[in-house]
Amino acid sequence: MRAVVSPGFMKQVVARTLNIGTTSKTGRHIQAKAWIAMALVLLATVWSGCSPSDPQSTFDAAGPIAREQLWLFQVIFWAATVVFIIVEGALVYALFRFRKKSDGGPLPVQAHGKTSLEIAWTIIPILLLVVIMVPTVQTIFRHAAEPDNALQVTVVGHQWWFEFNYTDLGITTANELRIPVDQPVHVKLESDDVIHSFWIPKLAGKTDLVPGNTNTIWFEAERPGLYYGQCAEFCGTAHAQMRFQVIAEDQAGFDQWVRNQQMGPATSMIPEFGIKGCAVCHTVNGSDKEGTQTARADGFRSGLAQFPAPNLTHFASRGTFAGGILDRTDENLRTWITDPDSLKSGNRMSELAAAYHNPKQALTESDVNALVGYLQSLT
């Protein structure tokens, strides 16, 4: 059952909190100040969420898609504002103009059945909806068309991290999406478990990743920089910790990154990585072949101890790990390997890896040190 809190009840709560009465002049004066203070705090809270300088603010568009979406939002917002002012203004006017008075006061004119008024308040909303509909439809069609010479990327959502496959470049990575500035990026969005949502506030709006269905979007970064992304659809325990970054750089820097990623993997694998079962879920020998992640997910569902996990071939070329929530430092890696639940509740590694359930495969301190050193060498 939903609880309804009335303004009167809130006034009583404020008054009691401040230990004042509601009848004395002093009490009413302090009460009014309390209401004003709360209103200012609420206004400041709302206003602080609209700062373009915030890392995930949509008011600092850094590409053509985000800019058009921001413009469309402003059109709809101001149209809704006009409607709100007119409707609420009429309501407030009626409340004060025709409030009940001791001498009776004037009665409002009864306009029921007046054809001209009914036509007017039918046509005006239609016109307002047209103002909103036309640019919305135009924007949807423009954004649906794949631009020429776009970088092709397939994004796969997993609980709880993002996988990035550069389909034309043979590169597989996780949680960090590298792109060149001033080049469109065409993205295919897929999920192998539940519904996720791909959102880069400064570059593009939210688009869902739906199991069994492929959605597409495109975006472009007009200036170099680090752009924060987030899963925007509740997808389970660690949803709030399913993040990623988009790193936009000039063409020369991106080309160098591509060359490094396409180089062969580390020539050797430490015994701990294979013996402790890490290689059951992680790839360290190059980009994942088509279907690798799907095969692992199918194996997990059939009861085998397999699950799609981030490709670690060039792990040390990334700045973050664990779904984009941790900086890649020795200390964070050591804690993650030793006790992943302490950093990210609900993660699959602690749930599935034998090292956390089988005493015979438990990680020793030397194992952890070796794994940290090995991972930090995978540039």
Q: Is the pLDDT of residue 327 over 70?
A: yes
Domain boundaries, the chain: 10-41, 64-102+109-144, 271-376
Which CATH superfamily includes the segment(s) 271-376? Cupredoxins -  blue copper proteins (2.60.40.420)
What pLDDT shows up at residue 275? 62
Mean pLDDT, rounded, for 312-316: 89
What pLDDT shows up at residue 37? 82
What pLDDT shows up at residue 4? 46
What dihedral do alpha carbons 5, 8, 12, 13 form, nearest 10°? 30
- Calculate ∠ Cα 191-194-198, nearest 5°: 55
Computed over its alpha carbons, how large is the radius of gyration of the chain? Answer: 28
Confidence band of 14 (pLDDT split at 50, 70, 90): very low
pLDDT tens sequence across 282-310? 878 766 655 555 555 555 445 454 567 88
For all residues of the chain together, what is the average pLDDT? Answer: 83
pLDDT tens sequence across 83-100? 899 899 989 988 888 777
For residues 37 and 58, give the distance between their C-alpha atoms in angstroms, rounded to a whole number. Answer: 28
pLDDT tens sequence across 218-244? 999 999 999 999 999 999 999 999 999
What pLDDT shows up at residue 28? 67
Do β-strands 151-158 and 204-209 pair in parallel, antiparallel, or remain unpaired? unpaired
Confidence band of 49 (pLDDT split at 50, 70, 90): low
Confidence band of 30 (pLDDT split at 50, 70, 90): confident
User: Hey, which CATH number is domain 64-102+109-144, 1.10.287.90, 3.40.50.150, 2.60.40.10, 1.10.10.10?
Assistant: 1.10.287.90
Q: Is the pLDDT of residue 345 over 70?
A: yes
| Percent of the chain predicted with pLDDT > 70 | 80
